[in-house]
């Protein structure tokens, strides 16, 4: 791979406030992971996690295999939140179960049965600060936060009534004391640590997002976009080989491109 092609990637990553660190005399690292997977995510120190059906595999930032975990009793992994690499949250929607893994991908606490907590229609789950976790209860259209002992510590109440909207969220993450709930029809709703509604970010049609400081990164059609929700500025640039891409992630000046049978990462 020559520097000209790398510079082309660099230009594609100039999304508004993004500063490109790839220069002609500093070739970025290119990591290729040959694997099939349904979804992938990255933790805050650059470890990569891929999920295929019931199995999650962890790779180091250099692409080297590190560990794997699967639980055939619980079936397919619906979502993964690796925000805290010391306590990775796995959500099994079909069984309404949460499993927490340590940095070795070993179970580090008891499984959490959401049904036993009284929630049989949990649509989404994600990790929270101080070993807490959030769920979105579809039955009551409500966000709830629990501590590490699975005790409810905050909730929003019925969001359909509060926000006067029919919500159908597909993704949520906590970041820096706020919970971001993505609803493709309305945008990204933001709630504080206690579940109080803060604001609506008008980004519609998103399948997922990544938050870094005051910027949200996301894919929109054939482009990678950034939205600064403090300055209310959006910037988009076309992605290379976008027709072959399954999904994209961008975090801390690193670009991750997911294809049918591989994951390619470009890091400074």
In whole angstroms, what is the distance from residue 136 CA to residue 238 CA? 33
Q: Which tens digits make up the pLDDT trace of 132-191?
A: 999 999 999 999 999 999 999 999 999 999 999 999 999 999 999 999 999 999 999 999
pLDDT tens-digit series, residues 27-85? 778 999 999 999 999 999 999 999 999 999 999 999 999 999 999 999 999 999 999 99
Cβ neighbours around 179 below 10 Å, total:
23
Residue among 198, 140, 203, 207 at smallest CA distance from 169: 207
Predicted TM-score (pTM) of the model is 0.89
Q: What is the DSSP letter of 19?
A: P
Query: How far apart (Å, rounded) are the C-alpha atoms in residues 55 and 57?
Result: 7
Rounded (10°) CA dihedral 193, 195, 201, 202: 160
């Amino acid at each position: 791979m020559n520097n000209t092609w790398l510079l082309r990637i660099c230009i594609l990553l100039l999304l508004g406030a993004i500063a490109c660190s790839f220069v002609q005399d500093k070739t970025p690292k290119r990591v290729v992971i040959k694997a099939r997977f349904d979804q992938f995510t990255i933790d805050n120190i650059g470890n990569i996690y891929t999920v295929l059906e019931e199995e999650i595999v962890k790779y180091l930032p250099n692409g080297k295999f590190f560990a794997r975990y699967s639980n055939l009793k619980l079936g397919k992994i619906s979502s993964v939140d690796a925000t805290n690499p010391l306590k990775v949250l796995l959500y099994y929607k079909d069984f309404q179960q949460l499993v927490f893994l340590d940095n070795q991908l070993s179970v580090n606490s008891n499984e959490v049965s959401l049904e036993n907590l009284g929630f049989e229609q949990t649509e989404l789950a994600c990790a929270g600060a101080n070993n807490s976790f959030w769920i979105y209860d579809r039955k009551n259209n409500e966000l709830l936060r629990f501590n590490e002992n699975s005790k409810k510590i905050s909730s929003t109440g019925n969001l359909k009534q509060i926000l006067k909207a029919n919500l159908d969220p597909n993704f949520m993450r906590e970041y820096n004391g706020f919970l971001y709930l993505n609803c493709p029809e309305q945008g990204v709703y933001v709630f504080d640590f206690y579940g109080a509604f803060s604001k609506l970010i008008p980004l519609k049609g998103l399948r997922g997002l990544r938050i870094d400081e005051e910027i949200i990164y996301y894919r929109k059609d054939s482009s990678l976009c950034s939205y600064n929700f403090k300055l209310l500025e959006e910037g988009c640039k076309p992605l290379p080989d976008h027709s072959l891409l399954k999904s994209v992630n961008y975090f801390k000046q690193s670009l991750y491109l997911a294809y049918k049978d591989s994951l390619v990462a470009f890091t400074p």
